[in-house]
Amino acid sequence: MAETEDKNGRSGIQVISRAATILRALKESQSGMSLGQIAVKVGLPRSTVQRITGALASENFVISDPKGHGLRLGPELASLAGSAQYNIVEHCRLLLTELTQQTGETADLAVLRGAGMVFLDQVPGTHRLTTVSKVGEVFPLTTSANGRACLAELPEDEALKLIRAEWERTGNRADPQDLLDALARVRETGLAYDLDEHTPGISGIGFAFRDWGGELHAISVPVPSTRLGDTRSRIERALRKTKKEIERSFAAGT
């Protein structure tokens, strides 16, 4: 009896592992995937993929692509992602508030999603002249402090792919090596900078971190460029303190 239970347990774990592999393959695809394509991608028999995706579809974790391109990730995953997003916002809210109290400037929380940085939360600064972005707004990766911070956390080939894709969309013909060199400095110092590069008159400093599931986020402080000279060192100290606190909290599994 115990041997049977142990065998069933191992089988169940294997199915979960395979289902997770299939979901990751669908996540990496920009369009739907057929059963055959999934099978090749994950290295499983087509019949096994069909059985697992059938179970995932019954729970709305995968759905049929409306344009007939096979299978795509389903709405139930978006619901779960929303719950995770809520948790990370709650987890970081006090740190953002403390960061604003220490600097007097706005503090932002954003997540790397696809080809941009999506704002999740913000605590406005206390100055009359302050910088504010909308929750849900998307910032580019290559010209924002939070985007550069996240790019620096990626393998160089993956970062280069995102850089080239963004510059192709914007018509930027600069040498990506210059930005790669800047990302190397971000890895050395732990902080990324946007000095009037995303929005004229506004600069920013930020750092990146990974949450419980390995997803890349960034906390940044935008500031009117006219005030940056007087506040830069204070913002850098506050961000480094926040970075240590957040890394300690995730390392502790809280």
| 138-154 confidence digits (pLDDT tens) | 899 999 999 999 999 99
Q: Please say if the pLDDT value at position 3 is more than 90.
A: no
Q: Report the pLDDT value the prediction gives residue 2, as an integer from 0 to 100.
A: 46
Going by C-beta distance under 8 Å and a sequence separation of 6 or more, which residues neighbour residue 56? Answer: 19, 22, 23, 62, 74
Q: Please say if the pLDDT value at position 231 is more than 80.
A: yes
Q: Report the pLDDT value the prediction gives residue 6, as an integer from 0 to 100.
A: 52
Q: What is the pTM of this model?
A: 0.68
Q: Please say if the pLDDT value at position 29 is more than 80.
A: no
pLDDT in tens, 48-96: 999 999 999 998 888 887 667 788 888 777 666 655 555 888 889 999 9
Q: Report the pLDDT value the prediction gives residue 224, as an integer from 0 to 100.
A: 94
| Band of pLDDT at residue 103, cut at 50, 70 and 90 | very high
- Which pair of tokens denotes residue 46? 């087509």
Q: Please say if the pLDDT value at position 5 is more than 70.
A: no
| Band of pLDDT at residue 30, cut at 50, 70 and 90 | low
Higher pLDDT among residues 200 and 214, named by residue: 200
Torsion of CA 163, 166, 168, 172, to 10 degrees: -80
Q: Please say if the pLDDT value at position 253 is more than 90.
A: no
Higher pLDDT among residues 160 and 212, named by residue: 160
| Band of pLDDT at residue 185, cut at 50, 70 and 90 | very high
CB 52 within 8 A of CB 64: no
Higher pLDDT among residues 240 and 80, named by residue: 240
- Mean pLDDT, the chain, rounded, equals 87
Give, in order, the Cα–Cα distances in Å from 166 to each of 54, 145, 171, 205.
Answer: 36, 15, 8, 21
